[in-house]
Amino acid sequence: MTGLGTILNIACILLGGFAGLFIFRNISAKTQQNLKTVIALVSLAIGFKMIWDGLAGSYSEQPSRGWLTRGYLFIVMMLSLGSGKWLGGKIGIQRRLNLMGAWARKKFTSAAMKENEKHPPSEGFITCTLLFCVGPMSLLGSIQDGLTGDIQILGIKSVMDGISTMTFATTFGWSVLFSAVPVLVYQGTLTLLAVVVKQWLDALPVAGLLIDSMTATGGFIVLCIPLLLLEIRRIQLADYLPALVIAPAAVWTFLG
């Protein structure tokens, strides 16, 4: 079912918000770390699966794909990730997202230090909306859902957003629940646009190959998520997003 990933995301935000308001008033640091570890391991498995599915041709009509083609796709992925990172850095994708995310986190930290004060409803709504919409998982997961019906990336994001909402609800109150609306509009729109693009791609003889190249490239981006979650290494993840366009464009140019 197309759009299921976004529906799951909305459900987790609402459940996390209600849990934070009425059940779990505080989550221990140890519990949060354990949840991060589990999510990181799941992200790792999904990333490797996406790479394998893309290289093996899971979305192609061909019964099997030769190792020569797989090797070509792997090289395309590496070159696309490198050029995508360069282009993303020039555009400043991650830098701009960091500014918005930093503003939202500053709002949360400031609000948390004033627990006894009432906060305007807009604070929780804006803070959660920014944090839930500006990340690369929101874009990558919605595109993946629309193109292939795969909701694994949005599934990970849903759990992360649910846990975050649980925490934010204890500080901002009920206003965090309304962040589900812009998430629905944003991710739902991206998914629908991806569906339209897929209908156009289906008319091309190399449609499966193009989707496979995007899937495999996206898998490498997903592999970076555990490094960020566990704070092993800071990676400018969003700067790699242009690779999702460069990879299929390269495949179409040389094999189309």
The pLDDT tens digits for 30-70 are: 776 777 788 888 888 888 988 988 888 766 655 566 777 78
Residue 27 has pLDDT above 80, yes or no: no
- Distance, in Å, from the CA atom of 123 to the CA atom of 10, rounded to the nearest integer, reads 19
Q: pLDDT of 44-53, one tens digit each?
A: 888 898 898 8
Instruction: Identify the band that residue 24 occupies on the pLDDT scale cut at 50, 70 and 90.
Output: low
Provide Rg for the chain, Cα atoms: 19
Return mean pLDDT, the chain. Answer: 81
Q: Whole-model pTM above 0.85? A: no
CA-to-CA separations, 227 to 30, 41, 141, 237, in angstroms, rounded: 18, 10, 18, 10
Q: Which of 61-75, 100-114, 190-204 shows the lowest per-residue confidence on average (mean pLDDT)?
A: 100-114
Burial of 119 (0-12, 13-18, 19+ CB in 10 A): middle
Segment 139-162 mean pLDDT: 90
HSE value, Cβ hemisphere, 13 Å, CA-based, for 111: 24
Between the two ends of the chain, the Cα-to-Cα distance in Å is 29
For residue 202, is pLDDT > 90? no
The mean pLDDT value for 182-208 works out to 86
**Alpha helix ranges (H) inside the chain:** 4-22, 29-56, 67-91, 93-112, 121-133, 136-148, 152-172, 180-201, 207-223, 225-229, 243-255
d(CA 172, CA 105): 13
* pLDDT band (50, 70, 90) for residue 183: very high
